Amino acid sequence: MEKYDVFIAGAGFAGSVAAKFAARGGLRTFFIEKYKTPRMKSCSGIQFKYLSRIIGEKIPQEKLCSNEIRKISIILPNEKGLKTSFKMYNFTREIFDDWLNKIAIRYGAKFQDETSLIDWETEDNNFIVTIKDKEKNQLKIKTKYLIDATGLMPKIRMKQRPQDFENHSSGATINYYFKGQSDLDPECLYQYWNLDFNNMMFAWIYKKNEFWVIGTGYDKDISQIGQNFFNFIKQKYNLEGEIIRKEGFSSNMIMGEGRVHLGSGRILYVGDAAGLVDMYRGLGMDAAALSGRLAAKAIIKAEKNHKNAGILYSKYMNKHVKQTNKNIDKRIYNLKNNDELLTYMKKNMVKMGIKLLYHKFFNKFRRVKNIKLLPA
């Protein structure tokens, strides 16, 4: 039976960054991915510039899309809004995640794709983990620490904390990948704040190389809502071409109070598995990467100083958990109609913009663990 210090289920942002920093810290690290890599993911792949500091790597130009995101356009229910200059990273998840995986491997972590976590059990001061590889062979490994990085349907957390999940979908997203001509700006991220199109955050439009991504999220009837939004955008911006594919995901994780949980002891949750996706910010990859890094830091320090990794991890993540929990109360799901949403946005847009610029500047001087995730 192979033995490791850290076993990580999931090789997205959170899992790969955790694997990198754990391996760099001298821990025997094994991380797996259920699907064959590189793989497409239904995710924006748009991030603030501080991402480079969080992952601890300079991001090569070839890992980014051919079109840059240089502007953000916020459109309110009354069709008015604002457009502002704001540079962000723009990448596809299959290329970027694969790059992160290879970085972790370079630091000494073992990686295996097309491999599923089947179950785990406690034995003395270790965990015996059962996995199934692409040949359908079931293998057992021994590890001191478990990290759940399996996203919004987290395998380990669902076994430990079934009370954190509903017996039906709590929300879903859908993306249309469109190829063709339009009046849209390829350097702009469009945010449509309208409860007819998205009752969780904003509906979105952005370009990834040759494709336009037009998508949204809703707590019900996602297929119809997505089609309505696509039809609206098609008419407004004169789309001419074809839909290449549609994709999305759903989750039954409770999206309200109590969503965020980091695990405890020697079992830690990171990224979406910890409930760190933030509907108010409309982002989760930065929190995922940061949580992966800080989980690895907690384990390294726990091993060195004979401390409790769960307590250390909670301490490192305290500010970010507070921010996410505070933002749960701000989400637009609590609003009844577009009139309330319009009032809310008009009241908060200026304040949000000032805070964004303030924290964007001071993030340059903050330690990584203290970076303020944006928009604040």
Whole-model pTM?
0.96
Write down the pLDDT at residue 16. Answer: 98
Its sign, for the CA torsion 25, 30, 36, 41, is negative
Residue 114 region by backbone torsions, left for phi larger than 0, else alpha for psi between -120 and 50, else beta:
left
Of 25, 111, 32, 7, nearest in space to 303 by CA: 25
Amino acid at 170: S
Write down the pLDDT at residue 290. Answer: 98
Write down the pLDDT at residue 248. Answer: 87
Overall fold of domain 2-45+92-165+254-334: FAD/NAD(P)-binding domain (3.50.50)
Amino acid at 55: I
Residues in Cβ contact with 42 at an 8 Å cutoff, skipping those fewer than 6 apart:
173, 174, 175, 215, 247, 248, 249
Write down the pLDDT at residue 350. Answer: 86
* DSSP designation for 121: E
Are 118 and 131 a contacting pair, CB within 8 Å?
yes
Q: Where are the domains positioned within the chain?
A: 2-45+92-165+254-334, 55-91+168-252+335-376
Write down the pLDDT at residue 5. Answer: 98
CA distance 121 to 129: 7
Are 343 and 212 a contacting pair, CB within 8 Å?
no
**Residue 16 exposure: Cα atoms within 13 Å on the Cβ side:** 27
pLDDT along the chain (376 residues), means of 10: 97 98 98 95 89 98 97 95 93 97 98 98 95 97 98 96 91 94 98 94 95 94 96 98 93 88 98 92 93 98 98 97 87 86 90 91 95 92
Write down the pLDDT at residue 155. Answer: 96
Write down the pLDDT at residue 159. Answer: 96
Of 309, 299, 7, nearest in space to 140 by CA: 7
Q: Indicate the CATH number of 55-91+168-252+335-376 among 2.40.240, 3.40.1130, 3.30.9, 3.90.105.
A: 3.30.9
DSSP codes joined into one string, 249-306: EEE-B--STT----EETTEEE-GGGGT--BTTTTB-HHHHHHHHHHHHHHHHHHHHHT
How many CB atoms are located within 10 Å of the residue 110 CB? 17
Write down the pLDDT at residue 349. Answer: 87
Write down the pLDDT at residue 258. Answer: 85
Is there a common fold for 2-45+92-165+254-334 and 55-91+168-252+335-376?
A: no
**Residue 271, token pair as written in the block:** 């990224």
Whose tokens are 């944006």? That residue is: 374
CA distance 129 to 139: 8
Write down the pLDDT at residue 239. Answer: 98
